[in-house]
Structure formats: structure tokens, C-alpha cells
A and B are shown apart, each in its own frame.
Chain A
Amino acid sequence: MPKAVYADLSRCIACHACELACERENENSRISLQVVRDLAAVPVSCRQCETPLCAVVCPGEALNYGDSGLEYDSEKCTGCRLCVLACPFGTAELRAGVMERCDLCQGKETPACVATCPAGALFCAEAESIGGNIRARRAERIKKALASPASAGRRVNR
């Protein structure tokens, strides 16, 4: 299963650094941050779907998917925007007749958004590993909280 950029929502501070880094590297930002009810923020970029709807609906075979992931051939693109309509996450955009979406900063070791995130909220991982990651982190935190005599009660008066 392909890797994608995911966000740990408990860490995201809505600073938009991911958007600005992506915009600098790719001219337009391919990740967008939504603040929900002023209480949390959600950065969203291409989910790198296993069966990408954008490619399924592409009439001109500009978008193709296989073992190496999604491939895009701008020569064959008719600019029909079906991919934009089909993406359930709204992460495909058509600009000047070219479909743009997150390609994980091809050629870079780490996508710019992940590298720049001041809160360390973004990470690039395979989809099936993230549920386990989050559960493992939670468990670790609970273990630590239980192991020490709570950050309470430590002080012994002298």
C-alpha cells in the first residue's frame, strides 16, 4: 500500500507552515489546513488511495494506477475536471489545465510539509501502520502516567 502524509491531530497547531512550504516548493500548495470550530486543525493532502477514484473516472487515461502508485500523463489530460469532482477529499486540483496533487515531493527524502512541521504533527507512512502507531503511542503514554507516582505527589517537604 502506498505511503501518504498523515497528521496527528492532537499535535497540529494550525500554523499553516505545511501549506507555505508546499507552495514554495510546488508553486501552489497541495496540502490545505482546515480549522474546525476553533478547536482543532486538520491538514489534508492526497490520500494516495489504493484505488484512486480520480484515476477510475479519468476518460482520457491521463491518470493510471498500478503497483508503483498513481501516474499522471499531462499530454493525455483533457482538462475535463472529472478527477477534481471524483476525489472524495478535494485534494486534486486542476490549474492551467494540469492536474495537481501531492506527489510526496518526488526526489526529496522527506516531503517539505513533513520536514517543516514545527509541532512534528505530520508524518509520511503507510496507511495500515497509522492506526497501530496511534494506539501504541496512547498505550505508551498511559503506561508512563501509571508508572510514575503521577506528576502529583512528588514533592517531599524538607
Chain B
Amino acid sequence: MEEKNPQPTICPYCSLGCGFYLKLEAGKAAGIRYMPEHPVNEGSLCPKGNTVLEVLNHPDRLKYPLKKTETGWERIEWEEALDLAAAKLKGSLEEYGPDSLAFLGSAKCSNEENYIFQKIARLLGTNNVDNCARLCHASTLTGLGKTLGTGAMTNPISDLACSECIFVIGSNFAENHPAVSRRVLEAKEKGAFVIVADPRMTPTSWLADLSLRLVPGTDVALLNGMMHVIVSEGLVDREFARERTKGFAELENVLQRYDPETVSRITGIPSAEIIKAARAYARAGTAAIVYSMGITQHISGTDNVTACADLALICGHIGKKGAGILPLRGQNNVQGACDMGALSEFFPGYGKVGDPEAAGRMQALWGAKKLPESPGLTATEIVGAAGKGKIKTLYVMGEDLVNSHPDSSRVKQALENLDFLVVQDIFMNDTAEYADLVLPAASFAEKEGSFTSTERRVQWLEPALMPPGEARADLEILFRLAEKLGLDFPYRDAGEVLEEISAAVPAYGGIAKERLKKDFGLIWPCPDAGHTGTPVLHTDSFMTPDGLARLVPVEHRSPAETPGPDYPFLLTTGRTVLHYNAGSMSRRCKSLLKREAELYVEIHPADARTMEIREGNKLVLESRRGSTKATARLTERVSPGVLFLPFHFPGTNVLTADALDREAKIPEFKVSACRIRRG
């Protein structure tokens, strides 16, 4: 370990990749120093980043491998633990075939760890390997993939400062990616016009010049409505549409039906505001679209993303500084986990499973005789298949399915149905409670490797600390597991794995450990050793086979479940600034819990009055799938008829449905029907 104090590191929470320093004392993380020179956060840190010491030093950290016995958890040696894991994987493989195995990679683990993880799965003969991107931005991969040719953020975050118009739809970045705010404010100082479309009034809406409060699940209608105005008022960038895209006529045809009055009836937004938003976006010299899970987590997620791309393309707002489409991803390495092929339908570098050429390339690189040919099951499908007994052994690296997947009761049944479950994590989470074997992993500050942020910035993380007890870096655990499985891996460390990644993933061709250690990393595509990275995508051509973007018309579809007489409220879920995802880290921070202690539900005061609900009342929420308790919070942040639950506490996903987008297989977390009563 290199001795540096303070040691530079990268925040383990969201996808921005903010830098800071850890101050070390006697081998412990004792303080934080800010990093004003970092190009993303410029020294700032959000509340979660500020409390990261509480995670690192938490007494709950897993320290030893644990085996479930009839009398409870039993501490075992690593050797025994890995022998057991390998024997169970091999047992299932021999008895039921490779597709009885499933692997869930982690958007919180490094590129090298995810690469090795999916390689193990595929060498064992299955494509049943996925990661939690399935739950947050799978529709970004499908929607931007078919329009632009690649499902990634087109411009770096700092570019927003150069935008003349910023259109935010389905993103509450002020709470979930706080450092984005400084760029948006920088743009506003220069006179930029900010539009925020969100069913809720959030701190992001506070920054808006125009706030559009749409009915949840009507994003396609709004986007088509804006495009209708742009087309009918002659604001289309005709040259761009002609020279760089295909399919304008078909799009124009569909848009005819989305006049502002019709769209106003669907979305609940006054038609004058739809027109105002369309004009502001189209007329700006440079305009950016920022979106997040309000767009992606719908059964129409792929269509929502596609409509965002169509809007940017017909206005020519892409391929230059200050323009573009910026999907804000959720986890610190969700972009990287996808790039590494921890996805059931993609090899590393997005070669399609089923394409003989892509498979051939991997076979040659890995020296493998044969790789599985059909796409595997997605994260959401793995749970379904486990419930039906088709998956026998599941290996989970750093994810809490019970609290992050929809319909928690069904997830628990599925986990109980498994023959063997391995969970590798830094804390005992609700999924690990169902495991047969729990392996203690090192946290971000205790290992080395590369992480890819939402803006495609690949940064190298160096270890600052030793892991607690016998906890080990995920990569080390995977190396030893591979050995037990009889796989012959030549690597000694993360740097050597990255060398193979640069051969496997074209966009990482020029990325190497020594290069990443300088100047805050590299932004992919970085195809060769002399290349300095590509902050802005699609400047001259798109990543489609002919270099042209596709305009793909999409139609508004109602959500899978809408309120009715039995379940009159529309329930939407999302994030809050003081907690993070399934909460296994943030719910262990006393200083965060002190401020946000338990599950609450936002309800409009008018609804509360009718139902005689007061602030702080305990409510029971019921959906077709289950019920949960939450404390009432009366607020006009939500519209009448809408309830909001943060998903950081156990209980929220007991209510949500597993209706999936047909292409991306992402669940519709954003809309379900619900009823409430006083508890």
C-alpha cells in the first residue's frame, strides 16, 4: 500500500465520481479534507459524502466469512467458505446445467471486479449475469442505444455551465446528485433558462425558470407535445435532421396527434407552458437534457428515453459543448459495470450475446472453447426464475435485492426457494439474511481498481486503509473462487485485469492504470495509448453502423397500474438527499438517521384533510402486493391524489409492482396504485 496522508479517494455513493481526501490516523480513517482541484465537485461534497467515515468505521462491518447453520451464523475460515461456494456452484452446474446458476454483479464494485465476475459466469457456461443497472438505467441503454448508438451520457457534467437552456425531466439532481447544482447555477448566472419537469415540486424545481408538474407516467406525451410545437412552428434544425439523422418523416407523422391541447389533457400541464418549454429548448443556441429515473423506471422507460433523444436530435442539440443528453446514473460504478458486460445480453464492450463475431472475439481473448450463445436472464428475471425453481444457486456481489427490487415479498420467496445463496458485501443486509454463505468484502477505501462515473470518467482508486478483520477485496475473493472452480486466471492484481479490459472493451483501449492515476482519469472512448479521451460524444457521427442517428417515433402508453376505486392513490417512489438506495450504508450513519429516521409518505394537505390525517400520523399503505407502515408528511410537494415514498427504507418496495418495460426489462417503480388508512 502506498503511504499517503491524506489519501485521495473517490466518493462511494452516487455516480458523479466526486473526489476528496481521507485523513488517516493510526491506520483508521479519521477525517475528510476537501479537494477543490477535482474537476467534477470542485471541493464540494454532499451530506452522504460528508458522513462516509461513519460507514468505513462502522462496527457492523462484516469481518469474517459466515455460514448459516441450524443454530445461526457460524464463523468459518476463508478456505472452507470458498470451497463451499465452489462446490455448490459446480454441484448445480453438473446436476442442473449452467443456466441453473445466476450472478448479480455490483455497480458499487470496480471495473476489474465486474469484469472478472462476468467472466467467471460466462466461463461456467451461463449468461445469467446482470447488475442493478437493470433497476435504474437499463432503458437508457436500450433507448439511447437504438437512437444514438450508445447508451451513455453524451457530455460531461461541467458542460452544463455552457448551456443556454437546461431541460430537466425526471431528475431531482439537487437531492440525488447535488454537485450538478453548481453547474446549473453557473449556467443560470450566465442567463440560461432552466425547465424542470417533475410530478413533484423538489429542490431541483426551486432552480427552475419554468416548472412543469406532469402526471406521473405521461413523459412521452409531454416530449411528443414539445416536438409537435417545434415542428409546427418551424423550429426544427433541418440541416441537422437531414444530414445526421434518419426517420424524420415517420416521427413527424406520429407527432401530428400530440397537439398542445391533447397533451395538456394527458399530462395536466397547461398548453401554454408546453409551448413555452418547447420554444425555450428549441431556440437556445445550446440546450441540454438532463434526465434520471423519473424517465427510466416506467414500463415505457425505453420509449421515454427514445423521446428525449428524438427531441435533442430534431433540434440539433447534440454533439457539441453545452448541448447533449445527460442521463444521471445512480451508483458510483454503474456505467463501468455495464461497460464490463455485467449484463445478461452484452459481453464486455457491448458486443451482443448471440452475435457470433462478438462471442468469437471474447472466446479468442479468453482462450475459451465455447461461450453460451443465448442471452441470459436479467436481474428482474433471475428473481422470477428463482421463484419457479429454475435458478438453483445465486451469487450476489454487493446488492440488496430484498429492498431494491419491486415486490419484496415475492423476492423473499424467491430467495428462500434457492438451493444456495452466496452474498458478498460490506454489511449484513436484508438479502444476506437469506444467504447460506456470507463473504465479507472490502469497502471502496480498502481496495484498488478503476471506477467509471456517469460522465464516462474512468478514475483509479487507491487503497487508503486495510479492510476490517478478515474482509477481503472483492477482486481477491473472485480470484480465489476462480481458482477453486478450476479456472486458470493469470492476473495478480487489478492493474493486470485492466490490461485485459483494454483489449476486450474498445472504448477502454488506451486506458491503463498508470494513465488513470494522473489528472483525474480519462473519459472514454479512449481507443489507444496516445488518445486523451472523448468528453463530448457524437460530434461528427453517431455510433450507429452508418453513423446516422435514428429518429424513432414513440406513443404515449398508460402505466401498467393506474389508481381505481379500490386503490385510489397513485404511488410514486424516489430518493431523498439524506439517504442512499437500499440504505445499507446511509441507514448506518447516525448523523443521517438523526435527520431522517424512518419511512415517511408525502401526502397532499387536501387529501390529508379529507381523510383526517395529521402530520406525523402513522399510516398503513396497501397495494395489490402488500402493505407497509409510514409516517405522514403533509406537503404540497406532491399533487392531490399522489403519494411519494422514498425507497431507502425496507417497506417501500413491498408495495411496488414488477411490471417491466418490454425492451429494457426495467420495473415500473414510479407508478403503482395504492390505498391508505390510519395505522
Does A53 reach chain B (CB closer than 8 Å)?
no
Contact partners of B627 in chain A: CB under 8 A: none
Partner of A154, one of B164, B174, B189, B637: B164
Contact partners of A39 in chain B: CB under 8 A: 201, 206
User: Considering only CB atoms, which chain B residue lies closest to A117 in the complex?
Assistant: B44
Q: Are A11 and B203 in contact (CB under 8 A)?
A: no
**Would you give 5 A-B contacts (Cβ < 8 Å), ordered by A?**
A16-B578, A21-B45, A41-B203, A119-B182, A120-B182
Given the interface pairs A13-B175, A118-B179, A137-B189, the reply to whether A38 lies near B280 with Cβ below 8 Å is: no
Q: Are A151 and B165 in contact (CB under 8 A)?
A: yes
Q: Are A145 and B178 in contact (CB under 8 A)?
A: no
Q: Are B34 and A155 in contact (CB under 8 A)?
A: no
Does A17 reach chain B (CB closer than 8 Å)?
yes
Q: Summarize A's interface: helix, strand, loop or mixed.
A: loop
Partner of B46, one of A15, A145, A155: A15
Does B492 reach chain A (CB closer than 8 Å)?
no
Q: Which of B270-295 contact A (CB under 8 A)?
A: 279-280, 282-285
Given the interface pairs A118-B178, A151-B191, the reply to whether A17 lies near B47 with Cβ below 8 Å is: yes
Does A135 reach chain B (CB closer than 8 Å)?
no
Q: Are A40 and B206 in contact (CB under 8 A)?
A: yes
Does B413 reach chain A (CB closer than 8 Å)?
no
Given the interface pairs A38-B201, A157-B238, the reply to whether A144 lies near B51 with Cβ below 8 Å is: no
Q: Which of B146-178 contact A (CB under 8 A)?
A: 164-165, 174-175, 178
Q: Are B283 and A151 in contact (CB under 8 A)?
A: yes
Q: A13-B206, A17-B46 are in contact. List 17 more A-B contacts (CB 8 A).
A: A15-B47, A15-B175, A17-B45, A17-B178, A24-B32, A24-B50, A24-B51, A24-B53, A41-B203, A115-B34, A115-B36, A137-B189, A141-B189, A144-B191, A151-B283, A151-B284, A158-B238
B43 CB to nearest A CB, Å: 6
Chain A contact residues, CB within 8 Å of chain B: 11, 13-17, 19-21, 23-24, 38-41, 115-120, 137, 140-141, 144-145, 148, 151-155, 157-158
Does B577 reach chain A (CB closer than 8 Å)?
yes
B445 CB to nearest A CB, Å: 16
Contact partners of B46 in chain A: CB under 8 A: 15, 17, 118
User: Considering only CB atoms, which chain B residue lies closest to A14 in the complex?
Assistant: B203
A133 CB to nearest B CB, Å: 13
B287 CB to nearest A CB, Å: 9
Does B591 reach chain A (CB closer than 8 Å)?
yes
Contact partners of B84 in chain A: CB under 8 A: none
B172 CB to nearest A CB, Å: 10
Given the interface pairs A15-B175, A38-B635, the reply to whether A152 lies near B283 with Cβ below 8 Å is: yes
Q: What is the CA–CA distance of A19 and B164 in the complex, to the nearest angstrom? A: 33
Q: What is the CA–CA distance of A19 and B47 in the complex, to the nearest angstrom? A: 8
Does B75 reach chain A (CB closer than 8 Å)?
no
Contact partners of A151 in chain B: CB under 8 A: 164-165, 191-193, 280, 283-285
Partner of A13, one of B174, B282, B285: B174
B348 CB to nearest A CB, Å: 33
User: Considering only CB atoms, which chain B residue lies closest to A151 in the complex?
Assistant: B164
A120 CB to nearest B CB, Å: 5
Does B595 reach chain A (CB closer than 8 Å)?
yes
Q: What is the CA–CA distance of A154 and B281 in the complex, to the nearest angstrom? A: 11
Q: Which of B40-79 contact A (CB under 8 A)?
A: 41, 43-47, 49-51, 53
Contact partners of A153 in chain B: CB under 8 A: 283
Contact partners of B280 in chain A: CB under 8 A: 151-152
Most chain B CB within a 10 A radius of its CB, from A118, A141, A144 = A118
Does B207 reach chain A (CB closer than 8 Å)?
yes
Does B357 reach chain A (CB closer than 8 Å)?
no
Contact partners of B417 in chain A: CB under 8 A: none
Partner of A23, one of B190, B204, B234, B591: B591
B143 CB to nearest A CB, Å: 25
Partner of A155, one of B43, B189, B282: B282
Contact partners of A41 in chain B: CB under 8 A: 203
Q: What is the CA–CA distance of A110 and B234 in the complex, to the nearest angstrom? A: 51
Most chain B CB within a 10 A radius of its CB, from A15, A115, A117 = A15
Partner of A15, one of B36, B178, B191, B234: B178
Does B261 reach chain A (CB closer than 8 Å)?
no
